[in-house]
Amino acid sequence: MEIILNNLLTLILFTPVLAAVIVMILPSDQEDLIRWVSFVLSFIPLALSILLWMRFSPAQPGFQFEQKVIWYSAIKSSFHVGVDGISLTMVLLTTLLTPLAILASFTIKDRVKSFMVLFFLLEMGMLGVFLMLDLLLFFVFWEFGLVPMYFLINQWGSEKGEREIWGGRKVAARTYASFKFMIYTMAGSLGLLLAIQMIGVVSGTFDIPELFARWTALEGSLFGMPIGVVKSIAFWAFAIAFAIKVPVWPFHTWLPDAHTEAPTAGSMILAGVLLKLGAYGFLRLVLPLYPAESRAYAGVLGFLAVMAIIFGALASWGQKDFKRLVAYSSVNHMGFVVLGIAAAAYTLGMESEPLALSAKLALNGAVLQMFNHGLSAAGMFFLVGVIYERTHTRDLNEYGGLFPLVPVYGGILIFTSMSSLGLPGLNGFISEFLVVRGTWPIFTLYTALAMIGLFFTGAYILKAIKQVLQGPLNEHWAGHITEINARELLVIVPLMVLMLWIGVMPAWILGVINHAVSMWF
C-alpha cells in the first residue's frame, strides 16, 4: 500500500502502458479475450485515480503526490509529476472514460489487438499531459497523444464518405480527417515547442512550478527585444497551440471532421478528454506563465469564445449528419470553458474583491464544464454510435419516429441530450450558470451575446431528438433495429448517474475545484 501511495501518479501514468504490453502478448485471434482483458486492465488506472481522489486533500495549497526524478540533467529537465484540484479532476475524467470507451468498442472486429494497444497508449499520452510538471515532458506527452489518435481515425474510422479538397481531388473522408487533425495540431504545436525551448533556455529550467516564479519575474530585454515583446510572442505561440486543441473559433474546423470520422470510442475520448488538453493548457500554463499578457489579450480570447459559443451552436443546428451535429456541439460547449478562462484571465492581478469572486466562480464553472462536457459529449457520441451500428446511417433525415422501436434508447438519448443542453437538475447547468455568473461582471456584453448561443443549444438538441425519435415512424426501420443492449447500457449508465449526481449534488467535485482555483486569487 505504502509503495502504491508513494508512486501513485507514476503508476496511474504508466499502468496503461503495462496494460498495452499485456494485451500485446495475447494471441491475435483470441479477440474476445483481448477485449475483456483490455476492459479489466483499464480499471487499474481508474481504481488508482479514485484512490488518488480519496487521498487528495483539497484545502492544501500547491501540488500534491509530487515525484521528481532527473530525466535530462544537461538541460535541467526532470520527470516531475504532481496534481492539484484541476488536474485531479481531469485525471479522473480520463481514467473514467477509458474503460467506458473500451467497452463501447467491443464491436470493433478489425485488428482488435492493435486497436486496444493504441487506446492504452492514447490514455497514457493524455494522462501525461495532465500529470506533468515539467514543460519539456509536457510537450512530449502533448505530441504523443496525437499518434494513436491519428491511427484510430485513419484505420478504424468510418469507411464511407469522401471529401473533395481542391481541384476536384477526392480523398477518403477518414484519411482527410485524420490528416487534418494531425497536421493542424502539429502546426499549432510548432510555435509551442519553440516557445517552450526558449523559456527553458532563458530560465535555466523546465520545471513548471519553478518557472511560475522565474519566468514571470524576468525583466529587461531578450534577444535584443524588450521582454514584453518576447513574452507576447511566446504567449501567442502557447495560446494558438491550445486554441487549436480546444478548439476555439475559428480554429475549429478540424473538429467536426475528426469527430465524425473517428470510431465511436475515438470520438468519445476525443470529445471527452482530448479537447480538455487545450483548456487545461490555458489553465496550467498560459495564465500562470503570462499573467500580464493573459490580461492584455483576455478580451480577444473572450471574443473568440463567444464566437465559438454562437457559431458552434448555429453550425450544429445547421447539420444534417447526427454525428456532425454532436461534434459541433463541442465547439459550443467548450466556448463556455474558454469564456470562463478569459474572464478569469482579465482579472489577474486586479485588487478587487468582487471581481476576484467573479473570477473564481468563472473558473469553477470552466473546470466543471470541462468535466461535464466530458461526460455529456462522450455520452452523446456513444449514443450516435449505438444508433449508427443499427442503421448504418448518420443522416438525420433517414431516421424518424424511432422512439416506439427503441423506447429505452430514446429515454437515454433524451436524458443525455438534456445534460448537454444544460437542463437545470443535471450537471451542465451548474457549470454554465457558474461561468455566466462569473463572466457577467467582467465581460457583460460577451455574456449577453453568449445567450444567443445558449438559445440555439436548445434548438440543435431538440432538432436531433426530433429527427431521430419523433414524428411518424419511418417504416423502413420497423423490425430492423433492436433496443440498446446490456453492454451498451453498461457504458452509458455510469455517465448518466454522474450527470444526475453532479446536477443535484455538485459539492463533492466543486469542492476540489474551488480550492484549486481559489488559490490563484
Partner 1 sequence: MTTETLLWLLPLPPVLAFFLIILFTYRSKSFSHTIAVGAALLSFFGTMVVFFRAVQVSHLGDHPFATSIPWFPTGSTWFNVGMLVDPLTAVTLFFVAWTVLMIFIYSVGYHNFGQPQGDHDRAGLPPHGATVQDAHGRKHRVPSVEPMYSRFFAFIGLFAFGMYLLVLSDNLLTLFVGWEIMGLCSYLLIGFWYGKPSARAAMIKAFLTTRVGDVFMLLGIVYLYSMTGTLNFREIMHNPETLNMLAGTPSYIAGLSAAGLIGILLFIGTIGKSAQWPLHVWLPDAMEGPTPVSAMIHAAAMVSAGVYMVIRMYPIMSAGMDVGHGLTPPMLFMAIIGAFTALFAATIAVAQNDIKRVLAYSTISQLGYMIAALGIGGFVAAAFHLVTHAFFKALLFLGSGSVIHGMEHGVHHTGDHHIDPQDMTHMGGLRKKMPVTFWTFLIGGLALAGFPLVTAGFWSKDEILADSWAHAPLVFIVLALAALLTAFYTMRQITMTFLGEPRSKEAGHAVESKWTMTLPLVILAFFAITFGWLGIPEGFPLIGGIVPNWIHEFVGGTLLEHPPALGFSWVPLLTSLVVSLGGLALGYYVYRGVRSDEKDPVEGALGASLYRLLKNKYYFDELYQAIFITPAYWLAETFTSLWMDQKVIDGILHWFAYISGVIGNFLRNAIDKPIINGSGDMVSEGAKKAGGSLKTIQTGRVQQYMILALVSLAVFGAFFFYLVKMR
50 contacts partner 1 (rule: CB under 8 A): no
Positions 396 through 455 that interact with partner 1 (CB under 8 A) = 401, 403-404, 407, 411, 414, 418, 423-425, 429-430, 433, 436-437, 440-441, 444, 447-448, 451, 454-455
In the bound state with partner 1, the residue whose beta carbon lies nearer, of 125 and 506, is 506
Q: What is the DSSP string of 17-31?
A: HHHHHHHHHS-TT-H
What beta strand segments (E) does 110-265 contain?
162-164, 170-172, 221-222, 225-226
Q: Which three cell numbers stand for residue 192?
A: 509551442
Task: Please provide residue 440's backbone torsions phi and psi, each rounded to the nearest 5 degrees.
Answer: -50, -50
Q: Which three cell numbers stand for residue 70?
A: 532527473
Angle among Cα 378, 379, 380 to the nearest 5 degrees reads: 95
Closest distance of CB 441 from partner 1, Å:
5
2 near 84, Cβ under 8 Å? no
In the bound state with partner 1, the residue whose beta carbon lies nearer, of 147 and 423, is 423
Q: How many residues does the chain have?
A: 521
Q: Which three cell numbers stand for residue 470?
A: 419523433
Choose one: 34-42, 127-135, 280-288, 503-511; the region binding partner 1 (CB under 8 A). 503-511
In the bound state with partner 1, the residue whose beta carbon lies nearer, of 203 and 364, is 364
In the bound state with partner 1, the residue whose beta carbon lies nearer, of 135 and 370, is 370
First CA to last CA distance, the chain: 36
How big is the site for partner 1, counted in residues (CB under 8 A)? Answer: 62
135 near 199, Cβ under 8 Å? yes
In the bound state with partner 1, the residue whose beta carbon lies nearer, of 158 and 514, is 514
In the bound state with partner 1, the residue whose beta carbon lies nearer, of 99 and 410, is 410
Positions 166 through 205 that interact with partner 1 (CB under 8 A) = 166-167, 180, 183-184
Q: Hey, CA dihedral for 185, 287, 352, 218, is it positive or negative?
A: negative
Q: Which three cell numbers stand for residue 373?
A: 462536457
In the bound state with partner 1, the residue whose beta carbon lies nearer, of 19 and 244, is 244
Member of 68, 318, 477, 481 binding partner 1 (CB under 8 A): 318
Task: Please provide residue 512's backbone torsions phi and psi, each rounded to the nearest 5 degrees.
Answer: -65, -45
Q: Hey, CA dihedral for 15, 272, 54, 515, is it positive or negative?
A: positive
How do beta strands 225-226 and 77-83 pair? unpaired
In the bound state with partner 1, the residue whose beta carbon lies nearer, of 218 and 519, is 519
Closest distance of CB 398 from partner 1, Å:
17
Closest distance of CB 454 from partner 1, Å:
5
Member of 97, 244, 510, 516 binding partner 1 (CB under 8 A): 510
Choose one: 15-23, 160-168, 193-201, 332-340; the region binding partner 1 (CB under 8 A). 160-168
93 contacts partner 1 (rule: CB under 8 A): no
**C-beta pairs of 351-354 under 8 Å, 24+ apart in sequence:** 354/441
Which residue carries 503495462 as its cell?
Answer: 18
CA distances from 470 to 317, 397, 401, 466 (A): 17, 12, 4, 5
Closest distance of CB 168 from partner 1, Å:
12
- Cβ partners under 8 Å of residue 101, min gap 6: 119, 265, 266, 268, 269, 272, 378
Positions 115 through 144 that interact with partner 1 (CB under 8 A) = none
In the bound state with partner 1, the residue whose beta carbon lies nearer, of 374 and 401, is 401
Positions 229 through 268 that interact with partner 1 (CB under 8 A) = 250, 252-253, 256
In the bound state with partner 1, the residue whose beta carbon lies nearer, of 444 and 485, is 444
Which residue carries 425519435 as its cell?
Answer: 469
Q: Which three cell numbers stand for residue 203?
A: 530560465
Closest distance of CB 507 from partner 1, Å:
5
317 contacts partner 1 (rule: CB under 8 A): yes
Closest distance of CB 105 from partner 1, Å:
28
Q: Hey, CA dihedral for 179, 180, 185, 186, is it positive or negative?
A: positive
Q: How far apart are CA 129 and CA 151, in angstroms?
A: 20
- Element holding 69 (H helix, E strand): strand 64-72
Q: How far is CA 283 from the centre of its chain?
A: 13
Interaction mask 455-474, partner 1, x per CB under 8 A? xx-xx--x---x--xxxxx-
Positions 211 through 230 that interact with partner 1 (CB under 8 A) = none
Closest distance of CB 445 from partner 1, Å:
8
362 contacts partner 1 (rule: CB under 8 A): no
Q: Under DSSP, is residue 58 helix (H, G, I), strand (E, B) or coil?
A: coil
Member of 364, 376, 416, 419 binding partner 1 (CB under 8 A): 364
Q: How far apart are CA 295 and CA 349, in angstroms?
A: 8
In the bound state with partner 1, the residue whose beta carbon lies nearer, of 335 and 506, is 506
Positions 7 through 26 that interact with partner 1 (CB under 8 A) = none
319 contacts partner 1 (rule: CB under 8 A): yes
Binding residues for partner 1 (CB under 8 A): 165-167, 180, 183-184, 250, 252-253, 256, 311, 314-315, 317-319, 354, 356-358, 360-361, 364, 401, 403-404, 407, 411, 414, 418, 423-425, 429-430, 433, 436-437, 440-441, 444, 447-448, 451, 454-456, 458-459, 462, 466, 469-473, 506-507, 510-511, 514, 518
